[in-house]
A and B are shown apart, each in its own frame.
Chain A
């Protein structure tokens, strides 16, 4: 059973960088079947997939067009976790952020979710 534990600040100032980490237990971030995602949810934008990282002989990343210029998702194999960095945040980035993963043949199924982190962008 995979468990995902999120950590990171709940308050970020405008123009600064939002940073969250998702620690994995029950699987390896570098497994050849796991896919590691960040998703956010707000009343105005609903559920919004932000991006993912996964290892298939080499590391791959995909990012949503809406945040592509500002986002980085990195695996950390030494700590078995992955992180989200979102630069130049604005109040529009206020949302509950989730890490989520799956390891099915269809790699867009999110079987496991972190507990969610409410991130507020405010001065």
Chain B
């Protein structure tokens, strides 16, 4: 059971928009920055969003992040078949003194 809660799966059609939620507590998301990672099959995760809503160089603006209270959300617009992947949220857990991740969400582009 992961400390951060994500839906196991989401799906949408090409060109549409999807959001993925990540729920935590005041010990983690509520008082720390959230990052989001994309993991394509057979590869290491890649950071898409850091500090709640910042995109590293090279990440298209189709990807966005937001945070409110103890929850965070990843948004993906203009869905492409190449976006099919597992998505993970992560943050620092202040009382555990550790990085914690969500259980991951599998995105299917129908």
| A residues in contact (CB < 8 Å) with B | 37, 46-49, 52, 62-65, 98, 100, 104, 106, 108-111, 113-116
Contacts and interface: CB of A to CB of B under 8 A. Distances in A.
B51 A106 contact: yes
A108 B97 CA distance: 11
B64 interface: no
Report, as a range, how many residues of chain B touch the other chain.
20 to 34
Interface string B69-106: 00000000000000000001011100011111111100
B4 to A, nearest CB: 10
A110 B47 contact: yes
18 contacts: A46-B2, A47-B88, A47-B90, A47-B101, A48-B101, A49-B98, A49-B100, A62-B97, A63-B98, A106-B50, A106-B51, A108-B90, A108-B92, A108-B99, A110-B47, A110-B90, A113-B46, A114-B44
Given A47-B101, A116-B44, A108 B96 contact: no
A2 to B, nearest CB: 13
Contacts of A64: 96, 98
Nearest to B99: A49
Interface in B23-60: 32-33, 35, 37, 44-47, 50-51, 56
Given A46-B101, A64-B98, A106-B33, A111 B88 contact: no
Contacts, number: 60
A-B complex: 8 closest residue pairs judged by Cβ atoms: A113-B44, A49-B99, A47-B101, A109-B50, A108-B92, A106-B33, A64-B98, A108-B99
Nearest to A114: B44
A47 B104 contact: yes
